[in-house]
Amino acid sequence: MTDLNKMYASMGIGDAVYEYGSKILEKLKKRFDEIDETAEYNQLKVVRAMQECRVSEACLVGTTGYGYNDLGRDTLEEVYAKVFHTEDALVRPQITCGTHALALALSGNLRPGDELLSPVGRPYDTLEEVIGIRPSRGSLAEYGVTYRQVDLLPDGGFDFDKIRRSINQRTRLVTIQRSKGYQTRPTLSVARIGELIAFIKSIRPDILCMVDNCYGEFVETAEPGDVGADMTVGSLIKNPGGGLAPIGGYIAGTKECVENAACRLTSPGLAKEVGASLGVLKDLYQGFFLAPTVTAAALKAAVFAANLYEPLGFAVVPDSSESRHDIIQAITFGRPDAVIAFCQGIQAGAPVDSHVTPQPWDMPGYDAQVIMAAGAFVSGSSIELSADGPIRPPYAVYFQGGLTWQHAKFGILKSLQALLDGGIVSEEALRLGAV
Q: 165 pLDDT exceeds 90?
A: yes
What is the pLDDT, as a whole number, of residue 365?
A: 72
Looking up residue 58, the CATH number of its domain turns out to be: 3.40.640.10
What is the pLDDT, as a whole number, of residue 267?
A: 97
Domain containing residue 312: 3-42+292-433
Strands 396-400 and 386-390 come out as antiparallel
Residues 266 and 334 in one domain: no
Residues 283 and 296 in one domain: no
Give 56-99 pLDDT, tens digit per residue.
999 999 999 999 999 999 999 999 999 999 999 999 999 999 99
User: Is 47 inside any structural domain?
Assistant: no
- Mean of the pLDDT values across residues 385-414? 96
Looking up residue 310, the CATH number of its domain turns out to be: 3.90.1150.60
Residues 264 and 302 in one domain: no
Residues 140 and 275 in one domain: yes
- Mean of the pLDDT values across residues 4-13? 95
In the chain, the largest separation of any two C-alpha atoms, in whole Å, equals 69
User: Is 131 inside any structural domain?
Assistant: yes
Residues 161 and 264 in one domain: yes
CA distance 101 to 258: 11
- pTM for the model: 0.95
Beta bridge partners of 91: 250
**What's the total number of domains in the chain?**
2
User: Is 80 inside any structural domain?
Assistant: yes
Residues 56 and 95 in one domain: yes
Residues 189 and 74 in one domain: yes
Beta bridge partners of 154: none
Residues 157 and 246 in one domain: yes
Residues 276 and 317 in one domain: no
Residues 115 and 258 in one domain: yes
Residues 120 and 229 in one domain: yes
Last residue of a domain, one of 288, 320, 354: 288
User: Is 242 inside any structural domain?
Assistant: yes
- Mean pLDDT in the chain? 96
Last residue of a domain, one of 239, 263, 288: 288
Give 11-39 pLDDT, tens digit per residue.
999 999 999 999 999 999 999 999 999 99
Give exposure, 250-274, as e/b (b: 16+ Cβ within 10 Å): bbbbbeebbbbbbbbbbeeeebbeb
Last residue of a domain, one of 255, 271, 288: 288
Residues 349 and 318 in one domain: yes
